[in-house]
Structure 1
Amino acid sequence: MKKRPILVMVAFVCMLIFPLAACSNTSTTIQVAEVTRSIFYAPQYVALEKGFFADEGLDVELKTTWGGDKTMTTLISGGADVALVGSETSIYVYSQGATDPVINFAQLTQTDGTFLIARERKPNFKWEDLKGSTFLGQRKGGMPQMSGEYVLKQKGVDPHNDLDLIQSIEFANIPNAFASGTGDYVQLFEPTASIFEKEGKGHIIASFGEESGHLPYTSFMAKESYLEENKEDMKKFTRALYKAQTWVQEHSAKEIAEVIHPYFEDTELELLETVVERYKSQGSFATDPILDEEEWNNLKNVMDAAGELPKDVNHNTLVNTEIATKVIQE
């Protein structure tokens, strides 16, 4: 009879423990808005597909918002917790007097991701060959166009005086415009650049990524208030990303292509491998999530050269390296 109270107590303790254990297995949902769907963002898809976010207890819901303006609007309005977009957008928002500025906390890519495409093969291409040509560029104020202009100027080509520069075509329509006969040269992302080469519509003759140096081309960012209120979750998010970045560095382009293929089902695996290898070989994928001051200053130089830097913003104003640094030091 004396054992009965003990059994009751054990049952009571179990009732308390099991719900707590169940709660500990729940995931935190983080909504991420990516500016476009691109092989350029391979480490992000590796983190998702390899379960690195899930291992941290995070349920990352990814949506593509197609364009810097739309992505930033989605983030600011609360339609996403985190945005993957060019770091220049955080400067644009800050310069407009944002009371809750957008903070860069983890870098994904560290070079330009575009390539120069010509209609014909040019084995002896020199940048001055562009002078007098019609150049199909990117959107004014966007990172691809600013980085492209920066490279051209470094090579002695004035994009607004030496070229017939076309910037009036929507981003999604640029490849079709070139394929239809508009322009002598075009600036394109992958996999479109490689597809054009494979189909004989154009030929890759130079990489803007190799020429522009390191800069925070795309980074994960969130509103300052969100980072402050979700410190532990953001640390988990960054840890998962760092795992993916390390995995990408340690594995072949073929292995990476196989992992991220579900996100690019319409792209042949062989082509996917080619694109990954091209980005990997030129160091486009950031090897860690830290956005350092040198890269930030290079970004401002690129923006300033294009006449698009609204104001000088210090690195520590819009960049949080504390989270990434702690993750790497673990």
Structure 2
Amino acid sequence: MKKRWLKGSFSVFFILILMFSMAACSSKDKVLKVKVAEVTHSIFYTPQYVALEKGFFEDEGLDVEVTTVPGGDKTMTALISGGVDIALVGSETSIYVYAQEANDPAINFAQLTQTDGTFLVSREKVDNFSWDQLKGSTFLGQRKGGMPQMVGEFVLKKHGIDPHQDLELIQNVDFANIAPAFSSGTGDYVQLFEPTASVFEQEGKGYIVASFGKESGHVPYTTFMTKQSTMKDNSEMVEKFTKAIYKAQQWVEENSAQDIAKAIKPQFPDTDVELIATVVERYKSQGSFATDPILDEEEWNNLQNIMDEAGELPSQIDHSTLVNTKIAEGVMK
């Protein structure tokens, strides 16, 4: 009787082991590979790196691979051609694609940053900076038609500066070569992302004198987008991705710049953790990191106003046409 009971117990134990093994295999089979193209690799995108380093994507069953594809045009090409599943880029690019009558337009589904992320860097140290000091100078701006350049011009005009009359505006330098061009002697002022701006300051190559983010107000500066067909056919992946991003946004909101810097340090191995913390604090203090993934209508309209002011808006596009907030709203509930 005792032997029979032992045999039965071993049988049950074996079956349980088998079931757990099968469940584990099944779970592994459900891991979704997601390819993301980011327009640049910057501390400006901190919540994305938090989601990677803290395992928030893995918690949702996603294996996320991020590749840097410099330039909004190249990033969107990667998305539209099917080279990646998701693009992290300025929302203006979705308007450009839509204006070309794309059969499968790019849909904005999760906002990551809500202000401009660039800073005005002067070659010489400037005491008591004022914007009118740019008049008569050579200004190395960003690529024409991109969000940094349009916000840059918007801010200059706000301060009574005509970017095409009151200074020499250079905007034909490729995105990846703007910092090296300034470093080699081009321009009196340059518009740079972090951590490059702070690195230049550390090395004595330039000095941060103003923030374009503080000057321009809320705008959907960088969002995650995917093709309309992907929104329809792979909504589960989009929802899981958004859920991980929202979790990371909340984590960034609730933690100190120092703790955030330590978390994302592996993404910036050549940058000192103290410098990362300084940059994170700078972005946090000016509200650059979105605290939730919803791209609202007011921000969308502000984006189009800035594009229109720069002469780059093909046509007014309704918020509902290129923005999907349903997934983000569902995730937040």
Instruction: Report matched runs for 1:59-208 at 5 Å.
Output: 59-208=63-212
**Aligned position for 2:34:** 30
Tell me if the contact between 2:37 and 2:86 (Cα under 8 Å) persists in the aligned partners: yes
* 1:19 positional shift: 3.2
Q: Secondary structure at the match of 1:123?
A: coil
- Secondary structure of residue in 2 paired with 1:290: coil
Q: 1:9 to 1:55 in 2, by over 3 A?
A: closer
TM-score, with normalisation over the residues of structure 2? 0.93
Matches of 1:119 and 1:82 in 2, distance apart? Answer: 37
- Residue among 207, 213, 219 paired with 1:209: 213
Q: Report the equivalent of 1:266.
A: 270
Paired residue secondary structure (1:47): helix
Task: Out of 165-174 and 79-88, give the one that drifted further.
Answer: 165-174
Alpha-carbon spacing, 1:260–1:15, altered in 2? closer, same or farther (3 Å): closer
- SS of the residue 1:247 aligns to: helix
Cα distance, 1:16–1:144 mapped onto 2, change above 3 Å: same
- Find the aligned partners of 1:126 and 1:62 in 2 and give their Cα distance: 39
Shift of 1:134: 1.1
CA deviations over 1:221-276 (Å, ceiling 9, x no partner):
00011011112221111111011000001111111111111111111111111111
- 1:322 is the counterpart of 2:332: no
What's the TM-score, normalizing by structure 1?
0.94
Q: Equivalent residue of 1:205, what SS?
A: strand
* Counterpart residue type for residue 87 of structure 1: S
- 2:253 pairs, out of 234, 242, 249, with 249
Q: Residues of 2 paired with 1:141 and 1:272: CA distance?
A: 29
Which ranges in structure 1 are unaligned for 5 or more consecutive residues? none
Does residue 295 of the first structure (1) align with residue 287 of the second (2)? no
Residue 124 of structure 1 aligns with an amino acid whose one-letter code is: N
Q: Alpha carbons of 1:12 and 1:162: their partners in 2 closer, same or farther (altered >3 Å)?
A: same
Matched position secondary structure for 1:148: helix
Aligned residue number for residue 227 of structure 1? 231
Structure 1 residue 180 displacement after superposition = 2.5
Matches of 2:259 and 2:11, distance apart in 1: 55
Q: What SS does structure 2 have at the residue aligned with 1:112?
A: coil
**SS at 1:206's partner residue?**
strand
The match for 1:19 is 22
Pairwise CA distance, 1:153: 0.7
CA distance in 2, matches of 1:35, 1:132: 31
Query: 2: CA distance between counterparts of 1:252 and 1:12?
Result: 48
CA shift digits 1:136-171 (9 cap, x unpaired):
111100111001001111111110111111112222
Name the count of aligned residue pairs. 328
Letter in 1 for 2:66: L
Aligned partners of 2:16 and 2:271: how far apart in 1?
Answer: 55
The AA in structure 2 aligned to 1:153 is K
Listed as ranges, the gaps of 5+ residues in structure 2 are none
Task: Using the aligned pairs only, state the percent identity.
Answer: 67
For 1:144 and 1:75, the matched residues in 2 are separated by: 21
Query: Structure 2 CA distance, aligned partners of 1:206 and 1:58?
Result: 39
Pairing partner for 2:222 from 218, 221, 235: 218
Instruction: After TM superposition, list the pairs within 5 Å mapping 1:37-76 onto structure 2.
Output: 37-76=41-80
Structure 2: how far apart are the matches of 1:215 and 1:207? 15
The CA deviation at 1:81 is 0.7
Q: CA deviation at 1:46?
A: 0.3
**Contact in 1 for aligned 2:70/2:175 (Cα 8 Å):** no
Q: Secondary structure, in 3 states, of the residue corresponding to 1:201?
A: coil
Greater mean alpha carbon deviation, residues 219-228 or residues 114-123? 114-123
